[in-house]
Amino acid sequence: MSDAKIVSPTARKGRVLFASLIGTTIEFFDFYIYATAAVLVFPKLFFPGADPTTAMLSSFATFSIAFFARPVGALAFGHFGDRVGRKATLVAALMTMGVSTVAIGLLPTHASVGIIAPLLLALCRFGQGLG
């Protein structure tokens, strides 16, 4: 006899539901924090040369990049979820989002590196959407 635990289908569904809830919560939190920063600080830090309306719209444009990256991430992580397993893929997706979020916090501003700053911001936002 093996010592493997037999998990009922109801318990398995509960674990999947809980994992999905955690992933969705982290994703929502990342989007919420970014949206708040896109309104309050990003126009001043990454688009200071533009008038306030253009800076705000540019900041919102970087916000929208993640929505375009999501289908790409769904295809990539869906494929690896089938090949590698859901647990490892969920961890990889959350790490991708987390690393991108931390990178956004560490980005240099427009005053430091010029036009490269908003480009790096867009790249990190794509990483958030991918995850």
Tell me, yes or no, whether 13 lies in a domain: yes
Tell me, yes or no, whether 4 lies in a domain: no
Tokens 């989002």 — which residue?
97
Q: How many other C-beta atoms are found inside a 10 Å radius of the C-beta of residue 100?
A: 22
Tell me, yes or no, whether 65 lies in a domain: yes
Q: What confidence score (pLDDT) does residue 97 get?
A: 85
pTM of the model: 0.79
pLDDT in single tens digits along all 131 residues of the chain: 555 667 677 777 888 888 778 878 877 887 888 899 999 999 999 999 889 999 999 999 999 998 899 999 989 888 888 888 888 888 888 889 889 989 999 999 999 999 999 999 999 999 988 98
Q: What confidence score (pLDDT) does residue 4 get?
A: 61
By residue range, what is the domain housing residue 18?
9-130
**Could you tell me if 121 and 90 are in contact, meaning their C-beta atoms sit under 8 angstroms apart?**
no
Tell me, yes or no, whether 3 lies in a domain: no
Q: What confidence score (pLDDT) does residue 27 get?
A: 77
Q: How many other C-beta atoms are found inside a 10 Å radius of the C-beta of residue 49?
A: 9
Tell me, yes or no, whether 82 lies in a domain: yes
Q: What confidence score (pLDDT) does residue 71 get?
A: 92
SS3 22: helix
Rg over alpha carbons for the chain, rounded to the nearest Å, is 19
Total count of domains within the chain: 1
Tell me, yes or no, whether 2 lies in a domain: no
